[in-house]
């Protein structure tokens, strides 16, 4: 392999390039056919696994299909499923539960994540080691996390309640983090933040490191206070990164299923029943395929709206 | 909270020694608290059944391998007389089980589930990285009409809630006899991973100077030769990092696995919560399974440390 071109070989190179252009088609495929050949398998796979099923689901959303009664003839019901969903108070309550979960957990993750990033950015000794430790929870399987936190939250035997009892004097067996209507919504926020605050931290850290030193030096010359420097330099410069993290987390939490399904399975009652859990119950327990297809389409549209905003934000960060 | 400690004596950007010490103390405190749940699980794996459910929770206990033995075996309860009449136990795990008036009846399902996780994980990772590398190279080097729209389309498939995607996949796989098969899960995970692979690898390949290939083309290489002998060796770190991200996704995935598999193709995440003993979850065994399941992830996280940021943002933030 000769990747190095000698400066005095310029003339040779032009000649070679001309020959190359003429012969490329002879001993190899043209660039254009290679491009299509390379992209086609990916597109084909996505069409088969994502788009074809999506179109099928759109069709099903106009039917009354119920898999537990699949002997019934397939009946087209028009927009009935959609109107059922949008006028169903229960669905709206689930959407509110989901929205509260998304807002609270993302807010908590931003506070913890940004705070940690500011501290780590002071570059104390061993900060690199501790950063890696802090990052571990977000790499784990959300389902496995949800499962083992149920042990930690056991009222009698769980260490979480015991430690809370130790600090507050409340008897450890007098409350259940996953079993009480007042606590369960906060429990899923807590565990989600334990997992994902490091995510916000890592992105904020990249934002902080992208700020050139000379801006702070200039601010110091102008005798700007530390407080002032934070509000007029640090925060605006980190903002695009923070926005990216927030949008990413918001989309992911809107889709949340695995961790909450194992931690509380939507309970007690339906206090932590996020919309994905409702969808799973309609589709895979009640087998109301037509109805759940319509609900899935509604969720698609919502996420797609968010995805558009996300990509715009993504491009803004990229342009920096 | 002040971000830049006030000082006039030394660099304004560097924090003061006191500022650093305070920051370090808070961060280390957070890290220790955050890692405690994982350490607790790792410790629970070495507890006996009664120590695991003791009140108050036991920090100091007599370690035992019961949890691991229970994870890998199926046991039946027998009378003392029955056990006394058996030939003497030959292995340490037989003895451990007989102390509890039980006899090992056979291996549990954990090994097949672990193998499923490995087969499906590596299978889908290989396919996603292969397809992703080709597509990323094309997007990086050639003018493809509507490239931005195609890239957005590829990314957008990742935005769908998994439960919603599972509904039509379930119906489709039922028709194609792919329900609860490894090949079905490999295809599905490949489709999910390929979007990440294309975006990440496009970023990595964009960073390799075009001049290298052009020089190779001038030397008479074909495009494919240039790709194989010039670009791929340069992109090998990026490809490895991408592969690890894909592997972690498949390894950790739960929603598709629980909705589309029940036995033959079941992976670890839907299996672990259902490791039960006599009367409820067998916590030491669950903790043992969790520990074994999490160790590779911890190693991968350390390996990936430099590329983590890129991976979790689809290549949007690169440091």
Best residue in B11, B171, B201, B316 for a mutation probing chain A (most A CBs within 10 Å): B316
The answer to whether residues B135 and B191 touch, using CB atoms and an 8 Å cutoff, is no
Average pLDDT estimate for B255-284: 88
Please give the ipTM for the structure prediction: 0.88
For position A314, what pLDDT does the model report?
A: 64
Query: Is some CB atom of chain B closer than 8 A to the CB atom of A134?
Result: yes
Of A124, A203, A306, the CB nearest to B21: A124
pLDDT tens per residue across span B301-310? 998 888 888 8
Distance CA(B18)–CA(A117), nearest Å, equals 18
Q: How many CB atoms lie within 10 A of CB B1?
A: 11
Q: How large is the angle between the packed helices A235-254 and A184-209, nearest 10 degrees? A: 140
Q: Does the residue A132 lie in any domain?
A: yes
Residues 6+ positions from B11 with CB-CB distance below 8 Å: none
Cα–Cα distance measured from residue B277 to residue B89, given in angstroms and rounded to the nearest whole number: 22
User: In this complex, is the C-beta atom of B274 within 8 Å of any C-beta atom belonging to chain A?
Assistant: no
Contact across the interface for A28 and B286, Cβ inside 8 Å: no
Q: What is the CATH number of domain B111-274?
A: 1.10.3720.10
What single DSSP character describes residue B264?
A: T
Task: Provide the pLDDT for residue B24.
Answer: 93
pLDDT of residue A313: 67
Residue with token string 């309550």? A93
CB B241 within 8 A of CB B160: no
Q: Which residues contact B277 (CB under 8 A, 6 or more apart)?
A: B49, B70, B285
A:136-165 residues touching chain B, CB 8 A cutoff: 136-144, 147-149, 151-152, 156-159, 162
Helix (H) or strand (E) holding B77: strand B73-77
Query: What DSSP designation does A76 have?
Result: B
Per-residue pLDDT reduced to its tens digit, B46-88: 998 888 888 888 888 889 998 999 899 888 888 888 888 888 8
The alpha-helical segments, DSSP class H, found in A66-88 are 80-86
Phi, psi of A270 (to 5 degrees): -130, 30
The larger pLDDT score, comparing residue B280 to residue B104, is at B104
Closest CA to B154 of B212, B193, B183, B127: B193
Query: For B142, which of A31, A135, A306 is closest by C-beta distance?
Result: A31
Do residues A245 and A204 lie in contact, with contact meaning Cβ atoms separated by under 8 Å?
yes
Residue B199 main-chain phi, psi, to 5 deg: -65, -45
Query: Which candidate from A16, A42, A307 shows the least CB-CB separation from B135?
Result: A42
Across the strands, what pairs with A76? A63
CA A58/CA B58 separation, integer angstroms: 54
Using the Cβ of A33 and the Cβ atoms of chain B, whether some distance falls under 8 Å is answered with no
Comparing alpha-carbon positions, the chain B residue that sits nearest to A43 is B154
**Is A213 inside any structural domain?**
yes
Q: What is the DSSP letter of B58?
A: P
Q: Which residues of B touch A209 (CB under 8 A)?
A: 319
Q: What is the CATH number of the domain that holds A312?
A: 1.10.3720.10
- A57:B168 CB<8 A: yes
Q: CB of B132 within 8 A of CB of B242?
A: yes
Task: For residue A43, tell me if it sits in a domain.
Answer: no
The end-to-end CA distance of chain B, in Å, is 25
> Is position A14 within any domain?
no
With respect to residue A23, please indicate whether it lies within any of the assigned structural domains: no
pLDDT at position B110: 92
Contact B155, B199 (CB under 8 A): yes
Domain extent at residue A238: 87-319
Exposure class string for B89-123: b at 16+ Cβ within 10 A, else e: beeebbebbbeeebbbeeebebeebbebbbbbbbb
pLDDT reported for residue A317: 61
* pLDDT of A26: 42
Are B132 and A276 an interchain contact pair (Cβ–Cβ within 8 Å)?
no
Which distant-in-sequence residues (6+ apart) come within 8 Å of A81 by Cβ?
A61, A62, A64, A290, A291, A293, A294, A295
Distant-in-sequence, close-in-space partners of B123: CB < 8 Å, separation ≥ 6: B182, B186, B190
What angle is formed at CA B223 by the lines to CA B217 and CA B226, rounded to 5 degrees? 65
Facing B154 at nearest CB: one of A46, A173, A314: A46
Distance in Å, alpha carbon of B294 to nearest chain A alpha carbon:
7
Q: B104 in helix, strand or coil?
A: strand
| Cα–Cα distance, A173 to A156 (Å, whole number) | 5
Please choose, from the candidates A265, A208, A238, A245, the residue with its C-alpha nearest in 3D space to the C-alpha of residue A108. A245
Q: Contacts of residue B143 in chain A, CB cutoff 8 Å? A: 35
Q: Which residues in chain B are closer than 8 Å to A257, comparing Cβ atoms?
A: 161-163, 254-255
A38 touches chain B (CB under 8 A): yes
Q: How far is CA A51 from the centre of its chain?
A: 21
pLDDT tens per residue, range B112-146: 999 999 999 999 999 999 999 999 999 998 888 88
Rg of chain B on CA atoms, in Å: 26
What is the CA B169 to chain-centroid distance, rounded? 23
Distance CA A249, CA A112 (A): 14
Q: Burial of B283 by CB count in 10 Å (0-12 exposed, 13-18 middle, 19+ buried)?
A: buried
The residue of chain A with its CA nearest to that of B51 is A157
DSSP lists the bridge partners of residue B75 as B104
Q: Of the candidates A98, A99, A91, A51, which has an alpha carbon nearest to the alpha carbon of residue A292?
A: A91
CA atoms within 13 A on the CB side of B131: 24
Q: Would you call A135 an interface residue with chain B, using a CB distance cutoff of 8 Å? A: yes
pTM of the model: 0.87
Under an 8 A CB cutoff, do B254 and A227 touch? no
Q: Give pLDDT, residue B89.
A: 81
With CA atoms as reference, the chain B residue closest to A160 would be: B37
Confidence of residue B11 (pLDDT cuts 50, 70, 90): low
pLDDT in tens, B177-191: 999 999 999 999 999
Q: Does B254 touch chain A (CB under 8 A)?
A: yes
In angstroms, rounded to a whole number, what is the distance separating the alpha carbons of residues B10 and A124? Answer: 16
Q: Does A43 touch chain B (CB under 8 A)?
A: yes
Along the 320 residues of chain A, how does pLDDT read in single tens digits?
Answer: 333 333 334 444 444 454 454 444 445 678 888 889 999 999 999 999 988 989 999 999 999 888 888 777 788 888 889 999 999 999 999 999 999 999 999 999 999 999 999 999 988 889 899 999 999 999 999 999 999 999 999 988 889 999 998 899 888 888 899 988 999 999 999 999 999 999 999 999 999 998 998 988 888 888 888 889 999 999 989 988 898 899 889 989 999 999 999 999 888 888 999 999 999 999 999 999 999 999 999 998 888 887 777 667 667 665 55
Phi, psi of A264 (to 5 degrees): -125, -10
Query: What is the per-residue pLDDT for B12?
Result: 61
Structure tokens at A196: 């994902």
Alpha-carbon distance B220 to A17, whole Å? 9
Least confident interval from A258-267, B7-16, B70-79, B95-104: B7-16
Please say whether the beta carbons of B105 and B76 come within 8 A.
Answer: yes
Q: How wide is the angle at C-alpha A48 spanned by C-alphas A42 and A49, nearest 5°?
A: 90
């Amino acid at each position: 392999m000769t990747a190095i071109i000698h400066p005095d070989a310029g003339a040779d190179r032009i000649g070679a390039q001309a020959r190359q252009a003429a012969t490329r088609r002879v001993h190899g495929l043209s660039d254009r056919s290679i491009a299509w050949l390379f992209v086609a398998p990916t597109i084909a796979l996505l069409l088969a696994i994502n788009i074809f099923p999506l179109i099928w689901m759109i069709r099903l959303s106009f039917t009354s299909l119920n898999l537990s009664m699949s002997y019934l003839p397939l009946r087209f019901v028009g927009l009935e499923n959609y109107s059922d969903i949008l006028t169903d108070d229960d669905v709206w309550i689930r959407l509110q539960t989901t929205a509260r979960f998304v807002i609270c957990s993302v807010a908590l993750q931003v506070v913890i994540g940004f705070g940690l990033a500011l501290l780590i950015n002071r570059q104390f000794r061993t900060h690199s080691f501790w950063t890696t430790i802090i990052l571990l929870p977000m790499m784990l399987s959300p389902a496995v996390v949800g499962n083992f936190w149920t042990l930690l939250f056991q009222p009698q035997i769980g260490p979480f309640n015991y430690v809370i009892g130790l600090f507050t004097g409340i008897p450890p067996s007098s409350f259940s983090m996953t079993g009480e209507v007042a606590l369960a919504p906060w429990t899923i926020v807590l565990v989600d933040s334990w997992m994902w605050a490091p995510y916000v931290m890592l992105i904020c850290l990249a934002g902080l490191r992208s700020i050139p030193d000379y801006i702070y030096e200039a601010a110091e010359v102008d005798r700007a206070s530390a407080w002032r420097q934070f509000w007029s330099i640090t925060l605006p410069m980190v903002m695009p990164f923070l926005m990216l993290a927030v949008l990413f987390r918001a989309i992911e939490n809107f889709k949340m299923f695995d961790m909450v399904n194992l931690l509380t399975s939507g309970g007690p009652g339906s206090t932590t029943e996020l919309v994905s859990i409702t969808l799973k119950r309609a589709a895979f327990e009640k087998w109301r395929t037509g109805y759940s297809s319509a609900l899935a389409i509604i969720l698609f549209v919502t996420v797609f709206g968010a995805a558009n905003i996300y990509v715009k934000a993504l491009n803004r960060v990229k342009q920096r | 909270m002040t971000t830049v400690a006030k000082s006039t004596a030394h660099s304004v950007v560097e924090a003061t020694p006191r500022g650093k010490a305070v920051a370090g103390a808070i961060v280390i405190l957070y890290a220790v608290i955050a890692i405690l749940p994982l350490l607790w699980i790792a410790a629970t794996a070495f507890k006996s059944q009664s120590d695991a459910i003791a009140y108050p929770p036991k920090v100091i206990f007599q370690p035992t391998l019961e949890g691991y033995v229970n994870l890998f075996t199926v046991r039946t309860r027998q009378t003392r007389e029955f056990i006394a009449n058996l030939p003497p136990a030959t292995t340490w795990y037989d003895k451990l089980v007989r102390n509890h008036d039980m006899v090992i009846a056979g291996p549990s399902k954990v090994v097949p589930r672990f193998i499923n996780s490995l087969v499906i994980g590596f299978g889908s990772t290989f396919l996603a990285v292969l397809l992703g590398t080709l597509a990323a190279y094309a997007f990086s080097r050639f003018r493809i009409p509507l490239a931005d729209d195609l890239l957005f389309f590829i990314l957008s498939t990742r935005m769908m809630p998994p439960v919603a995607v599972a509904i039509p996949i379930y119906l489709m796989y039922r028709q194609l006899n792919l329900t609860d098969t490894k090949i079905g899960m490999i295809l599905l995970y490949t489709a999910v991973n390929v979007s990440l692979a294309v975006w990440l690898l496009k970023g990595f390949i964009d960073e390799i100077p075009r001049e290298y290939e052009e020089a190779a083309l001038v030397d008479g290489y074909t495009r494919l030769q240039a790709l194989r002998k010039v670009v791929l060796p340069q992109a090998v770190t990026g490809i490895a990092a991408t592969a690890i991200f894909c592997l972690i996704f498949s390894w950790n995935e739960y929603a598709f696995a629980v909705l589309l598999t029940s036995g033959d193709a079941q992976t670890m995440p839907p299996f672990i919560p259902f490791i039960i003993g006599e009367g409820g979850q067998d916590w030491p065994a669950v903790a043992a399974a969790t520990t074994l399941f999490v160790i590779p992830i911890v190693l991968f996280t350390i390996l990936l440390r430099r590329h983590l940021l890129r991976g979790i943002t689809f290549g949007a933030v690169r440091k």
